[in-house]
Amino acid sequence: MGTRNPDRVPISYRRRKCETVGDMIHQGWDVHSRCMACGTLFRVNLRIIAKLKGAGFSIWNRKDRCRRLGCIGHVEFHGRAPDMSWHEVLSTPEH
């Protein structure tokens, strides 16, 4: 616990070095997703995504359907690199 680092790295800068799930696994990111409708939190297993979609798959700016039964909402992905204090939405304004 402590004060926020004033010159912390913006998430859009991190994306440049961490575009794919392969990069995220390599750099030790922890990722979960949260439904914007029902608020359910899902653990995201990057290794399973890499196995299913390939290591070059990207989850930036991606919204998936909520997996909770009966929910028609969408989840957004939140990620945390080992040197980050908390998860941030994996979304950047560019492309």
Residue 74 binds Zn ion, judged by CB under 5 A: no
* CA gap 54, 94 in Å, rounded: 23
Please, what is the minimum distance in Å from the beta carbon of residue 28 to Zn ion? 28
Q: Which of 71, 76, 80, 92 binds Zn ion (CB under 5 A)?
A: 71
Q: Does 21 bind Zn ion (CB under 5 A)?
A: no
Considering only residues 26 to 45 of the shown chain, the ones binding Zn ion according to CB under 5 A are: 35, 37-38
Spatial contact of 24 and 36, defined as CB atoms under 8 Å apart: no
| Residue 87 and residue 50 in contact, taking contact as beta carbons nearer than 8 Å | no
Burial of 66 per CB tally in 10 Å (0-12, 13-18, 19+):
buried
Min dist CB 44 to Zn ion, Å, is: 15
Q: Point out which residues bind Zn ion (CB under 5 A).
A: 35, 37-38, 66, 68, 71, 73
